[in-house]
Structure 1
Amino acid sequence: MATSQIARLLSRKSHVLPGQLHVTEMFFEVPENYAQPEAGILKLFGRRVRKHERPIVPLSDSDLTDQEKLPYLVYLEGGPGFGNREPQNHALTQVALRRGYQMLFLDYRGTGLSTPIHADSVRARGDAQQQAKYLKLFRASNIVRDIEAVRLCLLGDMDAHKQAWSIFGQSFGGFVALTYLSKHPSSLREAFLTGGLAPVKRTAEEVYTATFKKLMERNAAYYQKYPDDVSTVRCLAEYIHASPGSAIPLPGGGQLTVQLFLTLGIAFGAHGGLDLVHSLVLRLATDLDQVGHFTPASLAAFESRIPFDAHPIYAILHEAIYNTKRTGAPASNWAAHRVGKTLPPFAWLADPVAVLGGNPASKEPLYFSGEMIYPFHFDGAAGPELARMRDAAELLAATEAWDEDLYDEEQLARNEVPVYAASYVDDLFVDFELARETARLVRGIKVHETNGWYHDAVRSRSDEVFAALFRLRDDCID
């Protein structure tokens, strides 16, 4: 691993926001490739948040210095490929401030306001081989290097015992946290994970074999709750297939195909997700009943649920988050597609026409897919940006030799950093049994397990999640 480097702080501007939030917007500069720092730079954007104080007696210089020394809690967003929400819209902000932290929301490389990934920036790298090589730089290993570089920039001048910070990883952010624990444990004071116990020992194919089982359960629950949608969903699929070219243009430039329509089940992993899908199905069906076609507003509502064209890292590197050199496994090779099309409820992955029309199985419910990414996402259906990066995506899917391991099982086994995790029995995206397997690898971890929350509980059940995690940290076990 390359020697840790210090990020360069380029700028910072502070503002006071409602809720007694003192927010400092910061831009940093880091190497594009830590193994070749002279090759280019990337910019990272972050927001530091402290409680805004208005005391009767003005704060002294020493008081202000003390504020600078408040312990950091760094939020690691899920994804991959998504930037952070504004701090005032994040439930963790006020909880952290009340507990004496200052927060740092750092957009990963390629996301949010950090140097973005888009088709033009990728294609500017050269041919598909060069594009794929560039995209490999946006995996968790370099995300951790970036966070560590920013830590050295912000805390490197402090006393040694104050240079460590805390991290809080949601979903893919938990994967990043485990990589951080593997690579730089001495930089961490504590780690919180929600729905983020990565399947460290498993290949992409093994992961999807497990998550498709949970997906079938959620589809069954959906149709049990909304039995009339069995016929409604099928009617919508028939209408889409009967359209010219078997597709309907979307406002953002994509194409609503039967296959893309049936990826709406990604919502099933969240609280209220069954109801959200039903509402969209109802809206599309109402369009057909009232005006005979899907309206622009309804198509825009659909498109908002499939946002990968605007967040291409999610689609391009989704299966790559499971690829490590350690496994010695073959390339992911579109593992979700390979696993899914062998399952009868997802036969539409192999041939959407076969499950429509007069087929004997045409009375069976059409099952929705989840968070999986498939080759057809890059055929233009999910949007023009992804279509322009298809060749690079194909090369990444075929990659067998990844540069480095994301996790160090030996380091995790001797871990001394306090780790507190929330793990969900009915998690659609991070299989519970595989999460348990990972928890057994991390020395000293404390895990709150529940069948009462889904994957997005950090947003939908935030008060309960934070209370459970901080109980793990603050209480004792007799």
Structure 2
Amino acid sequence: MTTSRQHGTVLTDHTFTVPLDHDRPDGEQIEVYAREVRAAGEAGRDLPWLLFLGGGPGSPAPRPTGGGWLPRALRDYRVLLLDQRGTGRSTPVDRRLLSRISDPDAQARYLSHFRADAIVRDAEVIRRALIGDRPWSVLGQSFGGLCTVTYLSFAPEGLAEAFITGGLPGVRATADEVYRALYPRVVAKNAEHFGRFPGDAGQMRAVVRYLRDHQVVLPGGRPLTVEAFQSLGNLLGGSDGSRTLHFLLEDPFTGGTEPSDAFLSEVDRELAGIAGGPLYSLLHEATYAQGEGATNWSAHRIRAEFPAFDAGVAFDSGAPVLFTGEMIYPWMFDDDPALRPFGKAAELIAGRTAWPALYDLDRLRANTVPVAAAIYYDDMYLDCDLSIATARVIRGLRPWITNEYQHNALRTSNGVVLDHLIGLLRDTP
């Protein structure tokens, strides 16, 4: 266990050994890493613990570089930043897995143990190791909010209170229902963006025209197809994403008639940032799967119900060519060199017909854990209506429904969002 000091905090490294499959505790083991963060001036106090479950799936916990929500949390808590299994300094899921597990069926079985249900069981192992039978608080952002609702479903005895930001899932919704709700929200985000930056519609068409007529390969080795370029719309769900996309589109052909190297490098960087590690793409739809029935590339199938996203039809008719959102498509496993080796496993995961339950509706209806949740009215990643329906299911949940913030407000509001949720549970204004 290593301890260091930086930015007015005391940081302590923790590593825990947990079963890959918690139902087979004597089977294969993996490591899970977590970083304890305490305010330097509070290091001697026995503050309550706050477990942070971050976004994803497949993203490590944020590194404590200063700012964001962490300073507000450290006023009241000792924070534990968990690198969820498969991410960060935990036993990784990356290309090295393929050298150890070459059979796609075995890969898919292995990857099935990296959803919210396993993450919650990891958290319970960690809680008992650190504080025994005492419950702790949890803060779940985005996918971490989905994990928090799973926590409330299956291990509420481990929780003293829960805060959720942009992460209340549709606990009754199938993957198809989720995407039917999200595609119209992506359409609305496109309209907002092109209304804010009217010239971007023409720039988008110019890029699409070029990509239709030419084969373009990005510096990282993936082809830049029209569909890949459309997927940059995932940026539109963040508070600064529209501006980022605008400046990306500002002059794609600087100094010539073909896309500039600077433009292609920036596109490559943004696409790599959207995908993150392979877990994000491999398990994204599986985060919505429970019970019988395969997701079967839900986002790809449901997209056909929204012809406005057909770039060819839009281009030929003179309509705006729309960006897509946080959707994973099968072609990504053909085009992206980092994902291509996982293609067969991805097909098996998409075709898997039975998944363990992620939520216990009866337990949620009988919930006794204090819960406060920020629901962002214009959220592009989690449908507001599905979140509100879930808020009505979880007994005692105190919702804060706001159109003042976007999905990433926990990070960008400098503690305001977390402070508001803490106030809701403390009955303070």
Flag whether TM exceeds 0.5 (same fold): yes
2:305 is aligned to 342
**CA gap 1:451/1:191 in 2 versus in 1, 3 angstroms:** same
Deviations 1:350-381 (A, max 9, x none): xx5x554xx3x1x110000001111111112x
Which of 279, 282, 287 pairs up with 1:321?
287
1:8 is aligned to none
Which runs of 5 or more residues in structure 2 are unaligned?
Answer: none
Q: Are residue 14 (structure 1) and residue 13 (structure 2) matched?
A: no
Report deviation, 1:384. 1.0
Flag as ranges the 4+ runs of structure 1 deviating above 6 A.
none
CA contact (8 A) 1:77 1:84 kept: yes
- Alpha-carbon separation, structure 1, partners of 2:65 and 2:386: 34
CA contact (8 A) 1:309 1:385 kept: no
Query: Does the residue aligned with 1:202 lie in a helix, a strand or coil?
Result: coil
**What is the RMSD computed on CA atoms of the aligned residues?**
1.8
Which of 354, 360, 379 pairs up with 1:408?
360
**CA gap 1:94/1:185 in 2 versus in 1, 3 angstroms:** same
Matches within 5 A, 1:130-169: 130-156=106-132, 160=133, 163-169=134-140
2:373 is aligned to 421
1:182 is aligned to 153
- Alpha-carbon separation, structure 2, partners of 1:79 and 1:321: 10
Percentage of identical aligned residues: 37
Which of 29, 39, 60 pairs up with 1:83?
60
CA contact (8 A) 1:427 1:454 kept: yes
Which of 162, 182, 202 pairs up with 1:231?
202
Report deviation, 1:309. 5.4
Deviations 1:309-366 (A, max 9, x none): 54111111000000001xx4x2111111111122121123xxx5x554xx3x1x1100
- Alpha-carbon separation, structure 2, partners of 1:87 and 1:278: 29
1:473 is aligned to 425
- Alpha-carbon separation, structure 2, partners of 1:225 and 1:40: 52
Q: Are residue 262 (structure 1) and residue 238 (structure 2) matched?
A: no
Report deviation, 1:424. 0.9
Query: Does the residue aligned with 2:301 lie in a helix, a strand or coil?
Result: helix
1:106 is aligned to 82
- Alpha-carbon separation, structure 1, partners of 2:332 and 2:160: 40
The one-letter amino acid of 1:118's match is D
CA contact (8 A) 2:194 2:201 kept: yes
The one-letter amino acid of 2:330's match is P
The one-letter amino acid of 1:324's match is Q
Query: TM-score, normalised to structure 1's length?
Result: 0.86
Report deviation, 1:262. 0.5
- Alpha-carbon separation, structure 1, partners of 2:67 and 2:368: 29
- Of stretches 179-188 and 116-125 in structure 1, the one that deviates more from structure 2 is 116-125
- Of stretches 227-236 and 70-79 in structure 1, the one that deviates more from structure 2 is 227-236
Which of 425, 446, 456 pairs up with 2:398?
446
**CA gap 1:89/1:372 in 2 versus in 1, 3 angstroms:** farther
Query: Does the residue aligned with 2:399 lie in a helix, a strand or coil?
Result: strand
Query: Does the residue aligned with 2:33 lie in a helix, a strand or coil?
Result: strand
**CA gap 1:391/1:89 in 2 versus in 1, 3 angstroms:** farther
- Alpha-carbon separation, structure 1, partners of 2:308 and 2:248: 21
- Alpha-carbon separation, structure 1, partners of 2:66 and 2:98: 31
CA contact (8 A) 1:122 1:134 kept: no
Greater gyration radius: 1
CA contact (8 A) 2:284 2:328 kept: yes
CA contact (8 A) 2:18 2:125 kept: yes
**CA gap 1:205/1:123 in 2 versus in 1, 3 angstroms:** farther
Deviations 1:169-217 (A, max 9, x none): 0010000000111111111000000011011100010000011111111
2:329 is aligned to 374
Q: Are residue 431 (structure 1) and residue 383 (structure 2) matched?
A: yes
Which runs of 5 or more residues in structure 1 are unaligned?
Answer: 1-11, 55-63
1:71 is aligned to 48
Report deviation, 1:386. 0.5
Q: Are residue 204 (structure 1) and residue 175 (structure 2) matched?
A: yes
Which of 297, 306, 309 pairs up with 2:271?
306
Query: TM-score, normalised to structure 2's length?
Result: 0.96
